[in-house]
Amino acid sequence: MTEGQILLDPTSEISPVKRPRRARSASLGGRRFGLLDINKARGDVFLDRIEALLKARGHAVNRYRKTRFSIVAPIELKQRIVSQCDIVVEALAD
Partner 1 sequence: MMRFSDGLIAVVKRDCPTCTLIEPVIRQLANEGEPLTVFTQDDPAFPAGAGTVIDDTDLENSYHLEIDVVPTLVRIRDGKEAARTYGWDRTEWETLTGIRGLGAGLPESRPGCGSKTREPGMGSRLAVRFGDVKFKARNIELPRLADDIEACYERGWTDGLPVVPPTRERVLEMLGGTRRDPQDAVGVIPPDRIECTVEKAAINAVMAGCKPEYFPVVLTAIEAALVPDFGLHGILCTTNFVGPVVMVNGPIARAIGMNCKVNALGQGNRANATIGRALQLVVRNVGGGRPGEIDRAVLGNPGKYTFCFAEDEDDPAWESFAVERGYARTASTVTLFCGEGVTPVMDEISRTPESLAGSFAAVLRGIHHPKQVSNVDALLVVTPEHAAVFHRAGWSKQRLKEEVRARLMIPARELLRGYGGIDAGLTPEQAGNLDGTIPKFRPSGLNIVRAGGGAGKFSGIISGLGSITINSVTKEIES
Q: In what order do the strands lie in the sheet with 87-91?
A: 60-65, 32-37, 87-91
Give the SS3 label for residue 36. Answer: strand
Cβ proximity to partner 1: between 2 and 68 the closer is 2
Judged on CB neighbours under 10 Å (0-12, 13-18, 19+), 69 is middle
Site for partner 1 in 59-78 (CB under 8 A): none
Residue 23 within binding range of partner 1, rule CB under 8 A:
no
| Binding footprint of partner 1, residue count (CB under 8 A) | 16
Residue 22 within binding range of partner 1, rule CB under 8 A:
no
Residue 7 within binding range of partner 1, rule CB under 8 A:
yes
User: Of the ranges 5-13, 48-56, 71-79, 84-92, which one interacts with partner 1 (CB under 8 A)?
Assistant: 5-13
Nearest Cα to Cα of residue 66 among 87, 86, 83, 47: 47
Residue 13 within binding range of partner 1, rule CB under 8 A:
yes
**Cα Rg for the chain, rounded, in angstroms?**
18
Per CB under 8 A, residues contacting partner 1 are: 1-14, 17, 19
